[in-house]
């Protein structure tokens, strides 16, 4: 049984990916900042459906905590880098601390986690790494300057690693969601005026659901995905080409 580690899988898109990979037959390692009821309930749900799930927790803004997490990871065949930190602040008001927290979580921790799992993938001659990016790589939101830049940096790293790891049977890709209705944006989208503006910016005319991102991740992580590497795939109802 192969093992898939999905960061930020207690809720939202990461949860949908974890459920999908568990039903695809992977043992999944679930992750969140804390061992919340969300994550414990998800582990129970997966096990009740006959799957295998474990939990690890760490705040990925804190690089020491990421280092401790890296030490715990063994035999990871599939790594999905889904957790992120996102601050909505006008760019002239961003502090250096805000910058580092977002860069640490969205880029530096991603690199550290890849470093931690890649030797097992190389030994196995098989591995899958999927970064979760954002439509903001193509359409940056003015109040999320560092967030969108951190996602673009992560995708640049994905492209470089896809070339460096191609001969090892390891594929590296990015899935970039558009507006997916999760805890992250529920509050912002509760403002009808803002919600209309957002919906009007999506060619298909509606928000996505977390499950909309899970199918493509499942494909990329399967043997059928072996010839897809170095790609960024938008799951955004057409927003990136708008
Ligand atoms: P979400 O519902 O807010 O869930 C965030 C997940 O990440 C939770 O599991 C949370 O753990 C974990 N997390 C948050 N901060 C963390 C930190 N500092 N260290 C470790 N884990 C942390 O998020 P989502 O909307 O599903 O987004 C998932 C991914 O898709 C993110 O990379 C996001 O940037 C990307 N994305 C989302 C959208 C969207 O519209 N939703 C659009 C574009 C891209 P806890 O439960 O323990 O807090």
Q: Is 71 left (phi over 0), alpha (psi -120 to 50) or beta?
A: alpha
| 32 Cα: distance to centroid of ligand 1 (angstroms) | 9
Which parts of the chain sit beneath pLDDT 50? none
Q: Is 8 left (phi over 0), alpha (psi -120 to 50) or beta?
A: left
Residue 157 within a domain: yes
User: How buried is residue 223: exposed, middle or buried, by Cβ count under 10 Å (0-12/13-18/19+)?
Assistant: exposed
| pLDDT for res 215 | 98
Q: What angle do CA 187, 106, 156 make, to 5 degrees?
A: 125
Q: Is 192 left (phi over 0), alpha (psi -120 to 50) or beta?
A: alpha
| Coil vs helix vs strand at 214 | helix
Give helix then strand counts, H and E, for the chain. 9, 7
- Rounded to the nearest angstrom, the gap between the alpha carbon of residue 153 and the centroid of all alpha carbons in its chain is 14
Residue 143 within a domain: yes
Residue 133: domain span: 3-183+210-235
Ligand 1 lining (C-beta closer than 6 Å): 8-14, 32-34, 36, 38, 59-61, 82-86, 105, 132, 134-135, 177, 179-180, 182-185
Residue 174 within a domain: yes
Residue 194 within a domain: no
CATH number of the domain residue 46 falls in: 3.40.50.720
| pLDDT for res 7 | 98
Any idea what DSSP says for residue 208? B
Residue 81 within a domain: yes
Residue 171 within a domain: yes
Residue 178 within a domain: yes
> pTM score, two decimals?
0.98
CB-side exposure of 15: number of CA atoms within 13 Å? Answer: 17
| pLDDT for res 242 | 87
Residues assigned a catalytic role: 147
| pLDDT for res 115 | 98
Q: How many domains does the chain have?
A: 1
């Amino acid at each position: 049984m192969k093992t898939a580690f999905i960061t930020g899988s207690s809720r939202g898109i990461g949860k949908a990916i974890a459920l999908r990979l568990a039903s695809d037959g992977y043992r999944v390692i679930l992750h969140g900042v804390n061992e919340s009821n969300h994550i414990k309930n998800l582990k129970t749900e997966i096990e009740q459906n006959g799957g295998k799930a474990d939990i690890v927790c760490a705040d990925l803004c804190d690089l020491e905590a990421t280092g401790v997490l890296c030490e715990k990871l063994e035999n990871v065949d599939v790594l999905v880098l889904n957790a992120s930190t996102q601050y909505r602040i006008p760019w002239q008001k961003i502090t250096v601390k805000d910058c580092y927290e977002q860069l640490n979580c969205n880029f530096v921790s991603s690199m550290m986690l890849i470093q931690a799992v890649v030797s097992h993938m190389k030994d196995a001659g098989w591995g899958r790494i999927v970064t979760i990016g954002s439509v903001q790589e193509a359409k940056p939101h003015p109040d999320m300057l560092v967030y969108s830049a951190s996602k673009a940096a992560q995708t640049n790293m994905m492209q470089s690693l896809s070339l460096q790891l191609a001969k090892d049977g390891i594929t590296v890709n990015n899935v970039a969601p558009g507006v997916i209705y999760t805890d992250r944006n529920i509050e912002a989208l509760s403002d009808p005026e803002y919600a209309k503006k957002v919906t009007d910016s999506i060619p298909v005319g509606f928000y996505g659901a977390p499950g909309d991102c899970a199918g493509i991740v499942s494909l990329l992580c399967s043997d059928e995905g072996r010839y897809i590497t170095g790609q960024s795939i938008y799951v955004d109802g057409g927003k990136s080409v708008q």
